[in-house]
Chains A and B, each alone.
Chain A
Amino acid sequence: MVRAAFRAAGKSEAFEFTRVESMADGTRGKEDRNEPPDDEAALSARLQRLGERLDSASRPSENVTGPRSAADASAYARGFRMSTELVAGVVVGALIGWLLDRWLGISPWGLIVFLLLGFAAGVLNVMRAAGVVRENRLND
């Protein structure tokens, strides 16, 4: 009742006027008696809802928030991250290929194969960083 009246209060002056009139004709006493417990119930309900919202806001949502969404603090940092990821993949591939060539004497095949693999790894890194491909987790 209190809440209904409260909600209606914002709607129109005319409605407000009739409500006040109806309150004046004898039912007022009864309403006054009901008001404190009703108000307290509403208050405790609101407190509970607030508590729930605070909980859900402060609790780390481990499965909802992916690691990537937090990483893109700004577009600049994000762009830089992508480029380094790609370059890193290619560099690692080239390095491994070159070392294999030197150790096994299979030049230039190691470099050719691992450069291509490294490029693929770099692209994979970039796609992970961009969130196109899901992060490969153990628990998936």
Chain B
Amino acid sequence: MAVDPIEQFQIHNLFPIATIGHTDIAFTNSAAFMLAAVAVITAFLVIGTAKRALVPSRLQSAAEIAYEFVATTVRSTAGSEGMRFFPFVFTLFMFILTVNFIGLIPYTFTVTSHIIVTAALAVTVFLTVLLYGLYRHGLHFFNLFVPKGVPIYILPLIVFIEILSFISRPISHSVRLFANMLAGHITLQVFASFIILMGGAMGAIGWAGGVLPFAMIVILIALETLVAFLQAYVFAILTCIYLNDAIHPGH
């Protein structure tokens, strides 16, 4: 009785939506969980801010804390001017956070464990930085690749390295989130399968011994909760750092 730790990441088509060319576009379980996350965030913020009480209720406090947290992050890394990107960063942070937390519930699907999702988010950030930088500074934006005070004879090499470093950003940005979620969920599944395997192989003694991997799962769930939050935060803060490059004017 082998338990496949990858099975939890399978995409199922729930119902077809359209056919473009020869490609079937279907509504998948991934899309369903994304919609669920959006619904949860919308409900949380709308209900939380509905009363606008001076003395906030618990839900309103939570909504305010979420706002303050992201606003402080944006201000401290990208400056006050970075606040024009606040909606963008807040959306990214809340979406990733909610999706990660929903994925922690047993029998759910973790959207961010698919690299295509995180890559789409990271490329969106990358293109935003590139296009806004070009729009704001024109070709001066490319001075980002030309550090000052470098001797002219190694400058071409440095420029190449800087460009490669810039291009590698969306990759590290997306792989970090994806790999964390994937690895965490696989680890949980593997430890969970130990319990079943031991019980199946050794009967009552095996089930009693299953307490050990079960204790491990409890610990791992705590760690995964931390990772779920931390990766959303890291994604948001790196977005701010990258946006900072696009915003801050080249005098």
Contacts and interface: CB of A to CB of B under 8 A. Distances in A.
B249 A138 contact: yes
Contacts of A71: 77, 234, 237-238, 241
A88 B174 CA distance: 10
Interface string A115-140: 00110111011001000000111111
Contacts of A93: 164
A138 B143 contact: yes
B233 A137 contact: no
Contact of B137 (A81, A117, A137, A138): A138
B199 to A, nearest CB: 32
Contacts of B190: none
Given A60-B79, A81-B176, A121-B161, A88 B245 contact: no
B12 interface: no
B168 A67 contact: no
B245 A138 contact: yes
Interface residues of A, number: 38
**Is chain B's binding surface mostly helix, strand, loop or mixed?**
helix
A92 B168 contact: yes
B251 A139 contact: yes
Between B73, B171, B230, the greatest number of chain A beta carbons within 10 A of the residue's beta carbon is seen for B171
B168 A121 contact: yes
Interface of B: 72-73, 75-80, 137, 140-141, 143-144, 147-148, 157, 160-162, 164-165, 167-169, 171-172, 175-176, 179-180, 226-227, 230-231, 233-234, 237-238, 240-241, 244-245, 248-251
Interface of A: 60-62, 65, 67-68, 70-71, 73-74, 76-77, 80-81, 84-85, 87-89, 91-93, 96, 114, 117-118, 120-122, 124-125, 128, 135-140
